[in-house]
Chain A
Amino acid sequence: MKRLEEIFASGLLEDYVLGTLSKNETDLVNSWINEYPKVKAYIDSLEASLEKASVKNGIKPPKSTKLKVLRDLDPEYQKPSISSYLGFAAAFLIGILSMFGIHQYLEHRAETLSEQQLAQIKADCQQTKDELKSAEALLFFLTHEATQTTKLTSNNTELMVYHNGVAKQAKIRCHNLPLLGKNETFQMWADVEGKMINMGVFDGSNHSYQNLEFIDSAESFNVTIEPEGGSDHPTVSKIVVSQKV
């Protein structure tokens, strides 16, 4: 026991921990460590205290240092393998090809869309143009000074005949004509000097302007119901409406 007390009082154990002993002194302390477990435990507790203090007062090196240090120990540390390089390359290639494909598709789609759109717009324009032209022509015809208007009425039926001797054109506009039977049609007749002359057949749909043959010097206009395709002579029993000009 006295021996242990002497060892602890010598100060050599603290010097051992600080690494300030000579070779002989170090060997001596090593022999005590092997011989006395208390010496070993004491030295361990001294070292543990210094370790705690060191860790507590540590200063973190820059993050890049770790890679440098570990690469120094093992040049292959965290280096991508050939397979991962190939994987990278494959992924890169696929990415590039996909992007190229998508780009081509979008470009093609954009071209197609613009062509379709252009064609549609052109068609719409043409249609509008045609409609405008027709409307202008109709307006011109209806308001033309040579156009004569004859209104044919009977009960709820109303039919307007626009007749222009200069343009040699005739148009009608129907409203509430009676329903036709199967295989029947309306037919317009012009009475010229007691003779009924065919002006053409029409379907009698409401509010639409329909062209008929122009007959000069018509004294009256007469509408009959005739078999589909029309007749050479009017069926008098089936007169719908009639009006003198």
Chain B
Amino acid sequence: MNQAVWKKRAITKDQKAMEELYDAYSAALYGHILRRVKKPAIAEDLLQDVFVKVWKNVDKFDPEKGRLFTWLHRITMNTVNSHFTARAQKLQLEQLDYTGETYSNYSSYSSHEYLDIKGSISNLQPQLKEVIELVYFTGYSQSEAAKILKIPLGTVKTRCRIALRQLRKLHYVSPAVASGTLLLLILIIL
């Protein structure tokens, strides 16, 4: 999907553009939401909210500053966090003993069915994998992740950075490496 072209179509409220976006990314975004809220009915509502926000704010997406999916992911995580903030406020208003859904419930997350992360993430070291799962896939802030994992905030930040660099290496082949590999192959064939 050409992001700049897609944006132009979406700004004109081209229905097909939004359908294509839904087909391409709904599963990825729904996965992020469901891992956090754990309830499919709520996750569906939030996914709906996400697409409404995307539709209304599509003019704010800047293809020069980042990828479309990164922008979608941020909107998704903001929507999820807003959901929990609103819920927390409601509970406080009702004077219930709210200790925060996030920290107290994390222990159950390790065995949660939705947290079965596949692909390159599973190749990371366990300490790196868990911070990425919490911060990126589940949408916790780094401070929340530090509290959940009972490690310093600085450690969470460092692990996040290392994890991202390692992931990049797993996915990304630099042009120099790619051309060297191609040259080597040609030499072997000759």
Residues of B within 8 A of A (CB): 13, 15, 18-19, 22, 25-32, 34, 40, 43-44, 47-48, 51-52, 55, 64-67, 69-70, 73-74, 77, 114, 117-121, 135-137, 141-142, 157-158, 160-161, 164-165, 167-168, 170-172
Which residues of chain A come closer than 8 Å to B142, judged between CB atoms?
18, 20
Nearest 6 A/B pairs, CB to CB: A58-B27, A56-B119, A59-B31, A54-B28, A14-B161, A58-B28
Residues on the A chain within 8 Å of B118, using CB:
56-57
Complex CA–CA separation, A65 to B50 (angstroms): 13
Is residue A45 within 8 Å, beta carbon to beta carbon, of the partner chain? yes
Which residues of A are interface residues toward B (Cβ below 8 A)? 11, 14-15, 17-20, 30, 33, 43-62, 65-66, 68-70, 72-74, 77
- Closest CB in chain A relative to B117 CB, distance in Å: 5
| Alpha-carbon distance A47/B73, docked complex (angstroms) | 10
- Classify the interface of chain A: helix, strand, loop or mixed: helix
> What is the CB-to-nearest-CB distance from B163 to chain A, in angstroms, rounded to a whole number?
8
Cβ of A18 and Cβ of B44 under 8 Å apart? no
Q: Sample 22 A-B pairs with CB under 8 A, ordered by A number.
A: A14-B161, A17-B70, A18-B135, A19-B74, A30-B65, A45-B172, A51-B67, A53-B121, A54-B31, A55-B25, A57-B118, A57-B119, A57-B121, A59-B31, A59-B34, A59-B114, A60-B30, A61-B26, A65-B47, A68-B44, A70-B18, A70-B22
Please, how many angstroms separate the alpha-carbon atoms of A19 and B120 in the complex?
21
Report chain B residues within 8 Å CB of A17.
70, 164
Interchain CB contact (< 8 A) of A52 among B27, B34, B120: B120
Contact B30 A73 (CB under 8 A): no
